Structure 1
Amino acid sequence: MFVRTENPSTFFRLYPIVSFLVLIHIVFFLIFLIPGSFSNNLLKALIGFNLVIFKGEYWRLITPLFLHVHLVHMLVNSVSLILFGPALEKILGKWRFFLAYIGGGILANIATLFLAPPMYTHLGASGAVFSLFGIYSYLAFFHQHIIQRPHAHIIFAILLIGFVVTLTGANLNIIAHFFGFLSGAIIAPFIASHPNPYHP
């Protein structure tokens, strides 16, 4: 379920939403590598910034989900999406998966908006990625014919590692990570009550 053996062409064909999301990560990361005012101004216009969101720039609840300025940050989120996104894209279907991913990320950013200081800024897909584990957790408990015990063990082990890193790492949006997971678990009964059978 979580081992990827497809070549890039097959992966793009089988998992178009995951591929599209990862491609956006890479494109924005490359844009931000370009020196100059354009990339700086674009980052300033799209980054999550609580103060200006309260003033009406609500697009900043969505756009940070696609932004990364550090290579390791981008790679961790993109690789996590590549490993754990495809099975859910098949189980939920393309558009339910997309809505769940974006919805979980937005809810994580809304939690950040209300629980972090007004001058707090943030970016990254981590909240949306953690929402996937919230959905997996729901499936592991209520649809064990789809998420079997060995896979559930992997999910909960990765989730535990993710929370430990969240609590011990530096400059991480702890609020988005925890509320991303909770958001996925809350969304799951509405979008995963009748999941598709998973066939690798």
Structure 2
Amino acid sequence: MQRSLVGQGPLAGRLGSLQRRCGRGLRRLRQSGGVATGARCLSACGGAAVFASITGSSGSPDSGSSNPKLPNRGGSSKPSSSSSGKGPLDFGSPLRRCTDGLLVLNCLMFVLQWASKDALMLWGAKINSAIAAGQVWRLLTSSFLHTGAIHLLINSHTLATIGPHVELIAGGSRFMAVYLAGALAGTSASFLLTPAPSVGASAALFGLGAALGVFYWRHRASMGRRSEVMLQQLGLTLAINMAYSLASKRIDNWGHIGGMVGGAAVSWLLGPKFTRLPNGQIADTPPLPVMAYRPPGGAVDGGSGGAGGLRLVRGTS
């Protein structure tokens, strides 16, 4: 009944490097005086800031660091993660609220599962006969349950490793869309292709990993070597996980594959898809732009000045 994701060592090192780069970029934005004080605007512009930091002011990979300015949107001021001694992607940072919420929810569900003597797991697990009888909620609830503490710890470590980076790049709304799509697609594939009952968040986590791969694949021409290295590490991590999964009869491989397909598809459709315009602004133009980052007023404004200018906020549609 166990779905888990292991072998995160190689990828974790690269994501740690990305975390440090994001931290430096956000500090430069604060020092430039253009960064918004509201945590929401920081989160909304995070992915574009990563893209600008990697591609540089000319839009070519490794061409030097840009200094994109974000508009000061006002709102309630909150202490920065650096003032509290935390990095921008450490637990409790406003840039990873969805990730932290899922970590807390998974732990809470495990406590409730223990308190109910596993009655909660029986009520919410992926059991094909129950789903066929109309209990369709199991397609989602099974992704928030775990078979034991080790299963929970493995998946929580993976979520804490990958989640903040996907959330920073894509924003909270798209992060949750990818996570839930991976969970539903993984459980649906398992329901259709294997009779074994299952629980666990790993289908959703494979969806997050696929979304990270889609981001770097989509921007490989702009990000150059850095995109290539991340794709290599993601591929290695996938190979390790699939080898481990195939070697264990307790792993739901169809759930993992379905989660990857669901996460990749949603990420490809919803983005982000960044392009640098001739005036230095960055546009987010995925096939379905309903959650795309948008500039104030709904149109790109070159008035913020110069190459590397960045005026992106969360879309309202």
User: How high is the TM-score relative to the length of structure 2?
Assistant: 0.56
Q: 1:105 aligns with which of 183, 188, 194?
A: 183
Shifted more, 135-144 versus 167-176: the winner is 135-144
- Please tell me whether residue 141 in structure 1 is matched to residue 217 in structure 2: yes
- Normalising to structure 1: TM-score of the pair? 0.86
Moved more, 177-186 or 141-150: 141-150
Helix, strand or coil for the counterpart of 1:62? helix
Task: State the alpha-carbon separation in 2 of the partners of residues 142 and 55 from structure 1.
Answer: 41
Percent identity for Structure 1 against Structure 2: 24
Higher mean C-alpha displacement, 121-130 vs 135-144: 135-144
Query: Which residue in the other structure is 1:25 paired with?
Result: 106
> Residue type of the partner of 2:171?
G
The answer for unaligned runs of 5 or more in structure 1 is none
In 1, are the aligned partners of 2:170 and 2:272 still within 8 Å (CA)?
Answer: no
In 1: Cα distance, 2:130 partner to 2:187 partner = 13
Partner of 1:59: 137
Superposed displacement of residue 111, structure 1: 0.9
Structure 1 residue matching 2:15: 3-state secondary structure? coil
Partner of 1:148, secondary structure, is helix
TM-aligned CA distance change 1:171 to 1:98, over 3 Å = same
The structure with the greater share of residues assigned to helix is 1
Q: SS at the partner of 2:146?
A: coil
Matched residue, 1:82: 160
Q: 1:45 to 1:19 in 2, by over 3 A?
A: same
| Bigger Rg over Cα | 2
Cα root mean square deviation, aligned: 2.3
Unmatched 5+ stretches in structure 2: 1-13, 21-85, 275-283, 285-292, 294-317
Distance of aligned partners of 1:84 and 1:9 in 2 relative to their CA distance in 1, 3 Å threshold = closer
Distance in 1, matches of 2:91 and 2:243, equals: 31
Contact 1:32 1:69 in 2 (8 A): no
Q: Which residue of 2 aligns with 1:183?
A: 262
- Number of residue pairs matched? 192
